[in-house]
């Protein structure tokens, strides 16, 4: 471990139940595995035609996926949209959300580490999610539903004709697919695709929905147009929030509590290297998020500056509002002097050459630098969570323009009760004429 890493490994707190479920989900493949499931399990099979015993109230499963290039933090935002849809569906029927396994993300580039089929429990607290909506891991879905079949896949897309400015309306229609489907038919007529790295998963039916609107606009389709027990929405990022920044939004966001084993690692790092504890910083945390309502401005934060410095693709993708390293360091030194702080915690995706330059220009810098064992244990997603958790507890935070990584830190600090002036800040580009600071989205209880 590097000098700036935590003192030791924190054992991963993974529910042992998943091990049993995983075993149940993958029995030895019998000859019937390539056979279609019973007719009663196929999409479009009317509930009225089922035997009386099968016509009893049943659980329906909602699955979803996101455009492959999208990152960890945008996917967290899509979860909030889908949670709103699930709440709408549950007003009529018993639906459960199946959490899409993590893996194969653009920013997760650590070599020689298997990062597919990762359950949500590696990064988030599942009981906390369940206090908002009923959710299950994908392998639990496999065990409950009787096999790796998804009865209906809807690929969400825009409208081929687009929309004219000033004539926005919410609408949804089943339309021909605009782009080639990311699924192919096998010799049995099943749809095969990525399916979060579960190659044995099969789709029975697939079609495209052109959609223009908020998440719950899909509800009538799922309630009236299909009786499939399991329905997957692919390209779910095409749905908008039902009520961005409202009570429902914040309830779902608050329920997205980081996994405790990652919070423990971050807290130990804060204590050991940044002289930061919840007691001293005014950031006491309740395990039950429904019982946590903090008055804005009551959190003080640890005696350090928190920084998120996005590099790599942002250097060329957002050139005007992303500063050079030297300009960023100049701003950091200015803030340290103004705030009378001596340490700065930096979360960054900078390449090794830039890291070395930062160490020279910014000797006050502290970073979480995991050992190989910790990297393998927590994975890139876990390290991102630890970085965000530490930044969320800083006395003052400054992030990168339009970065969802920074946005999620803003929300975490809002939940903890920080003064907005210490949270909604970003670096400015050297040639940027109007350096507008991030919008304050006030928490709603």
CA 100 – CA 64 distance, rounded (Å): 7
Q: Are 257 and 130 in contact (CB under 8 A)?
A: no
Element (H, E) at 179: none
**Cα four-point dihedral sign 217, 221, 227, 232:** negative
- Asked if 2 and 369 touch (Cβ cutoff 8 Å), the reply is yes
Distance CA 139, CA 117 (A): 9
Instruction: Give me the numbers of helices (H) and strands (E) for the chain, helices first please.
Output: 13, 13
What is the spatial distance between Cα 76 and Cα 253, in angstroms, rounded to a whole number?
A: 9
Nearest-angstrom CA–CA distance, 280 and 390:
15
Mapped onto helix, strand or coil, the DSSP state of residue 123 is: coil
CA atoms of 80 and 86, how far apart (whole Å):
10
Active site includes 432? Answer: no
Torsion of Cα atoms, 405 then 410 then 413 then 418, to 10°: 150
CB neighbourhood size of 218 (10 A): 24
* Catalytic residue from among 70, 374, 412, 414: 70
Look at residues 377, 436, 128, 343 and name the one whose alpha carbon lies nearest to residue 254.
128
Q: Show which residues are catalytic.
A: 70
């Amino acid at each position: 471990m590097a000098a700036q890493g935590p003192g030791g490994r924190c054992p991963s707190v993974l529910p042992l139940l998943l091990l049993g479920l995983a075993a149940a989900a993958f029995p030895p493949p019998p000859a019937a595995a390539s056979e279609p499931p019973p007719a009663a399990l196929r999409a479009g099979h009317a509930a009225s035609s089922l035997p009386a015993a099968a016509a009893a109230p049943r659980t329906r499963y909602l699955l979803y996926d996101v455009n492959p290039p999208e990152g960890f933090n945008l996917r967290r935002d899509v979860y909030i949209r889908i949670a709103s849809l699930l709440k709408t569906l549950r007003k009529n029927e018993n639906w459960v959300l199946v959490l899409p396994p993590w893996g194969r993300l653009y920013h997760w580039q650590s070599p020689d580490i298997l990062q597919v089929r990762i359950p949500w429990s590696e990064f988030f607290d599942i009981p906390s999610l369940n206090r908002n909506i009923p959710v299950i891991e994908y392998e639990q879905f496999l065990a409950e539903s009787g096999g790796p079949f998804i009865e209906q896949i809807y690929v969400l897309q825009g409208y081929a004709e687009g929309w004219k400015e000033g004539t926005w309306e919410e609408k949804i229609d089943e339309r021909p697919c605009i782009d080639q489907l990311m699924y192919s038919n096998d010799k049995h007529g099943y749809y095969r695709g990525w399916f979060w790295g579960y190659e044995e998963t099969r789709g029975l039916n697939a079609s495209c929905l052109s959609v223009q609107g908020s998440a719950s606009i899909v509800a009538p389709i799922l309630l009236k147009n299909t009786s499939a027990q399991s329905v997957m929405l692919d390209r779910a990022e095409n749905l908008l929030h039902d009520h961005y920044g409202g009570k429902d939004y914040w309830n779902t966001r608050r329920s997205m509590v980081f996994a405790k084993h990652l919070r423990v690692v971050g807290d130990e790092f804060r204590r050991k290297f940044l002289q930061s504890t919840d007691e001293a910083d005014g950031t006491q945390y309740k395990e039950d998020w429904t019982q946590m309502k903090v008055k804005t401005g009551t959190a003080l934060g640890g005696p350090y500056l928190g920084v998120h410095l996005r590099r790599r693709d942002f250097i060329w993708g957002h050139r005007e509002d992303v500063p050079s390293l030297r300009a960023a360091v100049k701003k950091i030194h200015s803030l340290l002097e103004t705030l009378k702080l001596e340490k700065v915690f930096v979360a960054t995706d900078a390449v090794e050459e830039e890291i070395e330059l930062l160490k020279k220009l910014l000797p006050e810098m502290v970073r979480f630098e995991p050992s190989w064992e910790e990297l393998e244990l927590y994975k890139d997603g876990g390290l991102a969570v630890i970085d965000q958790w530490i930044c969320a507890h800083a006395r003052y935070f400054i992030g990168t323009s339009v970065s969802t990584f920074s946005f999620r830190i803003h929300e975490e600090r809002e939940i903890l009760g920080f003064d907005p002036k210490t949270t909604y800040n970003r670096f400015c580009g050297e040639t940027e004429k109007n350096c507008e600071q991030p919008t304050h989205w006030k928490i709603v209880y």
